[in-house]
Every structure is written in C-alpha cells, then in structure tokens.
Amino acid sequence: MDLILKRARAGFVVAFVFSMCLNLLMLVSPIYMLQVYDRVLTSGSTDTLLFLSLIALFALMVLGALDALRAAVLVRTGAWIGRAVGGGLIERMVRASLGPKPIGTLPLRDLSQIQTFISNALATFFDTPWVPFFVLLVWLLHPWLGMLALGSAIILFSAAWLNDRLTRPAYEMAGVEQARAISKVEVALRNSEAIQAMGMLTAVTKLWRDRDQRAMAHQVRGTQLGGVLLGFSKFFRLAAQVGVLGLGALLVLRGEMTAGAMIAASILLGRALAPVEQSIGAWRAFANARLSYRRLDKLTKSIPLVSDQMSLPAPSGRLAAEGVVLTSPKPDMPPILNDVNFDLESGDVLGIIGASASGKSSLCRLIVGVWQPTRGHIRLDGAEVSKWNKADIGRYIGYLPQDVELFDGTVGQNIARMEEGSSEAIIEAAKRADVHEMILRLPDGYDTEIGIHGTAISGGQRQRIALARAIYGNPKLIVLDEPNANLDQKGEAALVETIDRLKKLGATIVLVAHRLPAFAQVTKLLLLENGRAVDFGLRDDVVKRTRRQQTSTADKKGDDLKIKGLSGKFTYGGST
C-alpha cells in the first residue's frame, strides 16, 4: 500500500497545487469588497466598479473551473488506486480464504472506503494548511484582528484534535464490529438452505444483531462526541466572525482602519476558519479511511503477491509426492498428513481411499497448489507445483473440489473457466464429460445463465458442468475430489467413461470417491490412515494386500469396494 500511495503522489501533488490556486483566488471577494468600499464608494466611479466586477467575475470563473478540476483529479486518483490495488487484493483475498481465517469481502469494502475519502473529503484537508496564510492577511489589516483570528484558529484546531482523540477509539471499534457483523451475514448467505430448512434464522439473526448493536453503540458514541464538537465549532466560527465585525467597527470608529478593511477581515476570517470546521465534520470519513488503510496495509504485508516465475515447458503429467507433511493450524492437533509418498506417470489414474478425516481432500489441495506442504514436495514433471508460473499452471491442471461452486454467467462461460473460450473447445470438453446432451436440454443451451440470478440447476447438473470445466483445455493433471457425490446411476456411468477417455489421452488423474463405479479405471491406489500413507502401489496389489489384512469385524464397518476385474471386498470409509 505504501508503494501504491507513492505512485499516486503525482495526483495528490496536482490536487495540492490546484488547492493553492483556489485559496489564492479566495482573495478575490475580500479584495473586491475592499476596493468597492474604499475606492468606488468614495470616488463614485461607475467605470471602476464595472471593471472591478468584470475582473472579479473572471477570477471566480477560474476558481470554479479549478475546483472542478481538483475534484476530477482526486476522483481519478482514487479510481487509479482502485485499479492498481484491486487485482492484487483479489489474489490476496482468495489466498486468505484458503486459510483458517477467511476475510470475506472486507478488503474490497476497505478499498472503497479509501476511494470515497479521497474523492469526497480529502480536498478539505488540502485547504487546511492555508489557514495560517489567511490569519496572516487578517493580521496585516490590523494586529488586533489578527490576534482574534489567531486565537480563533487555535481554539478550532484544538477542537479538531480533541475530536480525533475522543472519537478515534469509538470509530475504530465500530468499524471492527461492523466488519464482523457483515461476515456473519456472508456466512449465513452461503448456508441459506440449511438455515431455512432447520429453522436457524432466528439464531443467525441474533448473532448478527449482537455484533451490529455493538457496532452501533460505538458508532453512536463517536457520532455524539463528534456532533458536540462540530456544533461547538460552528457556533465559535460564527461568533468569531461576529466578533471580528464588532471589533472592526470599533476600529473604524476610532479611525484605525477603513470600512472596506473591516468587511475584508470578516471574509478572510471566515475563509481561514472554514477548513478547520469542515475537517471536524469530515473526521469520521478520515477515521474510517485510516482504519481501512491499516487493515489493507496489514493484509498486503502478511500475504505478499506471488511473483511471476519463469515459464516452464508444458508438463507431461508426471506427478510425485516426496515426504509430504501438512500440519494443522492448531498447535495441539496431530498433522493432517504425515510423510506421504507416491509417484505417477503420465496416464496413471490414482485412487485415494481411506476413512473419514484421513487427509484425502487435503492431499488433493496440495496436489493442485491450493495449499503448500509444511515439509516435503509435490512435484509436477520434477518442478514443485508452487514454483510454476501461476499464469501457466492453470492451463495444465483440472480440479473438481468436493464443494462445487459455479460462477454467475452462462454454462459456456463456466466451462471455459470464465474466459473467452472457443465454442469448439467448450463443446469438446462437454462431450468428453458426457454433459453435451444435458446442456442442450437447458432453456438456452450453452447460453443458459446460471448462478445467483440465473436458472436453477440440480446438484448433479452442477457437478457434471464442473467436471467439464475441470477437463476444459485438455489439462495434463486432473484432480477429482468425490466427483460422483451428487450423481445418479446414469451420471456415474458417464463419469467412468469420461475417466476412461482422459486416461487414453494420457492425462494423469487423481480420484477420490466413496462409491464403487468411479474406481473402474483406477491403475494405482493410495490408502491413507490418520494422515499416513499405509499402502501405495498398483491397484490389484494394494487391494489384495488390504483384503488379507481385513478381519470379519472390519468388513462390517464400511462400504464394499468392488473393483472391476477383481473379486472380494475392500473396506474403506467416507471422504475427508
């Protein structure tokens, strides 16, 4: 964030220069009044009045144009910061969501808060440094008026400082609690079906209301304190202007200054104190922007962007795990995976089996590079998955996670991974996943809108479309984590045929499933138990070894796994 603000410095400098010109042009009104009272009224010259008025109007037109230009510069600077930060912010949000403490969309709201402050409130703070300049001009008109202006400015600056000291903790706590309240709602929306079905709406609403009420309590306290100080500042500014007129009138009566100077001093004092008063009113926006900046700065420092590595040749699909260890984020918990080793050649189909919580899905996430192992290596064609250029490796990997999510867009866009894919490649992937006919039966075929605002589709249809997305572009490594979880018998048969096609094309496939048919094309098996690889090898060899180890009691605990071409039973559990 510091680097981004440094790059945006040019915009801030231009806005500051415009502010300087604007504040200098603010002298037009007091100078005009001074000339009218002291020259025009005494001389009675209408020509002088005409030319003074024309010059003043022209200067005020320039002032209006500069004000509009300053606003445009600040808006564009805020937009540029959004473009510069947004891409990296999305990457950090995605990576943070993979960890134990997802942050939701809060960083985007923080970025919007900063942009709003720059566009709407920053100009006030650019005007504040010119307060001493106007106080000096009042002093030049008369020292007594200058002392009044100086004292007024000091009192209002003290009110602004006190406003910051008193309201900052309240606004910061309100921001934190509001972010937590919104995160509760985001989680609830992702689980809306369960909430509605099991009558959890009241409990969820209570959780949100508790957080929201805490946020509102802090916000009300901060707003009340700020409101008191803002009210005082308005009263004091108006009182100071009345005072300068009264004192000026006294000085005029005593012959120490002219009536024009008295009016000019009142205008100058009003201009001197206005930015201070406005800054008190804009302090809430400043406090929110400051808190947002700190959160974004902390995020950018804790999750640095992944630098682009050198592009590597397209992989053939050789995959190996070397002593892979994945520890739990909780220090007292045993490792999720412990010393896992296996190797696959191009065209191999690896079936990962094991009881629930044995680490199958965690291993899938390591294989595709979603997570990184604590120790050990996951290598694709000899190079660590984490070392591949992130822009390249996505084309070589297909991934179907347990929790299938599709994006707002058309079926075709989802299959093409939200890129501008060719119709031929999209249809080819759909046919290989055996979903072409199913898609054609949708209301608009491949152009059918799905997602939040689109056509509702079943869990099985969503999973089959996600399978087509996983194999789009002929990836060399395909990881399928329970691809048959929502499929009927026909869909499961289509899945087996799809795996057979991909196998013949030379793709390396990693498969996690807990129903028999999906394992028909498996060539190798990896048996996990409590995070350890207790057996790995050719499918038939692993099944035979495991069958010999099974007791009659163990046979009754799990489902039966019947692999095509083998007899007997193999007991295993559900999915991780």
Give the per-residue pLDDT at 172: 75
Lowest mean pLDDT among 160-174, 175-189, 221-235, 340-354: 175-189
Give the per-residue pLDDT at 576: 38
Split at pLDDT 50, 70, 90, the class of 20 is very high
Residue 364 contacts residue 509 (beta carbons within 8 Å): no
What value does the mean pLDDT take over residues 85-93?
76
Give the per-residue pLDDT at 575: 37
Burial (CB < 10 A; 0-12, 13-18, 19+), residue 516, is: middle
* Residue 570 pLDDT greater than 60, yes or no: no
Give the per-residue pLDDT at 550: 58
247-293 pLDDT, tens digit per residue, is 989 998 888 888 888 888 888 888 888 888 787 777 778 878 888 88
Name the residue with higher pLDDT: 33 or 553: 33
Distance CA 174, CA 279 (A): 20
Give the per-residue pLDDT at 102: 61
DSSP state of 119: H
510-558 pLDDT, tens digit per residue, is 998 776 666 778 888 888 888 888 888 888 888 787 777 654 444 444 4
Distance CA 24, CA 524 (A): 80
Coil vs helix vs strand at 304: coil
As a residue count, the chain comes to 576
Distance CA 149, CA 144 (A): 9
Split at pLDDT 50, 70, 90, the class of 68 is very high
Start-to-end C-alpha separation, the chain: 39
Split at pLDDT 50, 70, 90, the class of 3 is low
Please tell me the number of Cα atoms within 13 Å of 70 on its side-chain side. Answer: 24
* Residue 80 pLDDT greater than 80, yes or no: yes
Give the per-residue pLDDT at 449: 87
Distance CA 109, CA 182 (A): 11
State the sign of the Cα–Cα–Cα–Cα dihedral 489, 495, 498, 500. negative
Give the per-residue pLDDT at 2: 64
Of 542, 575, 536, nearest in space to 559 by CA: 575
pTM, 2 dp: 0.66
Specify the pairing of strand 477-481 against strand 397-400. Answer: parallel
* Residue 69 pLDDT greater than 90, yes or no: yes
Distance CA 541, CA 547 (A): 10
Percent of the chain residues past pLDDT 90, beyond the cut: 10
Residue 360 contacts residue 324 (beta carbons within 8 Å): no
Of 401, 373, 402, nearest in space to 386 by CA: 373
Split at pLDDT 50, 70, 90, the class of 454 is low
Of 26, 3, 501, nearest in space to 274 by CA: 26
325-380 pLDDT, tens digit per residue, is 988 877 778 888 988 999 999 889 998 888 777 888 889 888 988 888 889 999 98
What value does the mean pLDDT take over residues 301-308?
67
Helix axes 131-141, 143-190, angle to 10 degrees: 160
Percent of the chain residues past pLDDT 70, beyond the cut: 87
Name the residue with higher pLDDT: 48 or 553: 48
Coil vs helix vs strand at 511: strand
Distance CA 311, CA 391 (A): 9
3-state secondary structure 176-238: HHHHHHHHHHHHHHHCHHHHHHCCCHHHHHHHHHHHHHHHHHHHHHHHHHHHHHHHHHHHHHH
Burial (CB < 10 A; 0-12, 13-18, 19+), residue 223, is: middle
Name the residue with higher pLDDT: 265 or 170: 265
Split at pLDDT 50, 70, 90, the class of 387 is confident
Average confidence score pLDDT of the chain: 81
Q: Which domains occur in the chain, in start order? A: 2-302 (1.20.1560.10), 319-405+476-572 (3.40.50.300)
Give the per-residue pLDDT at 518: 65
218-236 pLDDT, tens digit per residue, is 878 877 877 787 788 888 8
462-514 pLDDT, tens digit per residue, is 888 888 998 888 888 999 988 877 777 777 787 888 888 888 888 899 998 77
Residue 575 contacts residue 402 (beta carbons within 8 Å): yes
What value does the mean pLDDT take over residues 156-165?
82
